[in-house]
Amino acid sequence: MVLDTGSQLSWIQCNNKKVPQKEQPQKESFDPSLSSSFAALPCNHPVCKPRIPDFSIPTDCDDKRLCHYSYFYADGTLAEGNLVREKISFSSFQSTPPIILGCASQSDDARGILGMNLGRLSFPSQAKITKFSYCVPTKQAQPASGSFYLGNNPSSSSFRYVNLLTFSQSQRKPNLDPLAYTLPLEAISIGGKKLNIPPTVFKPDASGSGQTFIDSGSELTYLVDEAYNVIHEELVKKVGTKIKKGYEYGGVADICFDGDAIEIGRLIGDMVFEFEKGVEIVIPKDRVLAEVEGGVHCLAIGRSERMGGGGNIIGNFHQQNLWVEFDLANHRVGFGEVADCSKSAK
């Protein structure tokens, strides 16, 4: 399962041995008929109501009077199936009580999702977990294995924390996601220079646009145009002759390069996300560029408006070799640098 702090619903790819094998997808899946704790939610279950405060996944009744859901993620990934109750086991002696999750009959990603946001149906909320942390390995790590803790992290004494921004019901706006982990980002620096981006760009405006949150399920970081354009202008000054003209990756990122990524990274310099209390996420110059396709490298930042959003998202590319701890009881997020996540304790 993919750890996703930006979404609420956990789901797994389900399979059924009653379906002919030739019609089954050739990928790992869960067979509900083999589980004694599995139970599908009926249509009259309270969660299946079409509109409840913090669960916006569209639901309806299928022809068996079971609760059916269908959800498209921002990147276009589809997950569709039935809502069910099932235990999640971590070992033969450790498992959760039955929790509500999706049993996907159709999806574009067989890995499934572990929904970790602040919603009441997220995995932490249902499993009564008040603290968790993860460490994302570098894209070059082989094997690409990170680390994940439920509960206390033994390295947390070295973490630096920022307080989460929270929003009352009266403060919630159309473009605001109240279930996201909203961070007090104040500035961005490149090559030791703090960019001239107004701090208000990183905070929700009257409509909720401008919210800044951290999302382990998004690979790239996304910024609103007012911030993205300043970064673009700065890199034109630094490495403008090396920018790949007329190229745009995924329709969202156009600060891209051919050539030696290490050399270009040295010219760009370190990139720093600066939060309140002097807390920083430092992206070293040798990791400011992401290889996207055919030897092309891009600054791993896209325009959020091109994705249909109006906020700022710190994606997992900018969380490599970094402990990120979510201390839900104290409403804060902690950061701790790691030399090599792939070698951290699992």
Catalytic status, residue 31: no
Q: Assign 3-class secondary structure to 146-209.
A: CEEEECCCCCHHHCEEEECECCCHHHCCCCCCCCCCECCEEEEEECCEECCCCHHHHCCCCCCC
Strand order in the sheet with 280-283: 193-194, 185-190, 271-275, 280-283
Phi, psi of 171 (to 5 degrees): -90, -10
- Token pair 């325009």 in the structure block, residue: 303
Amino acid letter, residue 71: Y
Greatest CA span in the chain, whole angstroms?
63
Tokens of 87: 């235990």
Catalytic status, residue 54: no
Catalytic residue among 177, 215, 254, 327: 215
* Cα 114 from Cα 328, distance rounded (Å): 17
Catalytic residue among 4, 177, 254, 327: 4
Tokens of 244: 């790949």
- Residues 339/156, Cβ–Cβ less than 8 Å: no
For 77, residues 6+ apart whose C-beta sits below 8 A from its C-beta are 107, 108, 109
Active-site residues: which are they? Answer: 4, 215
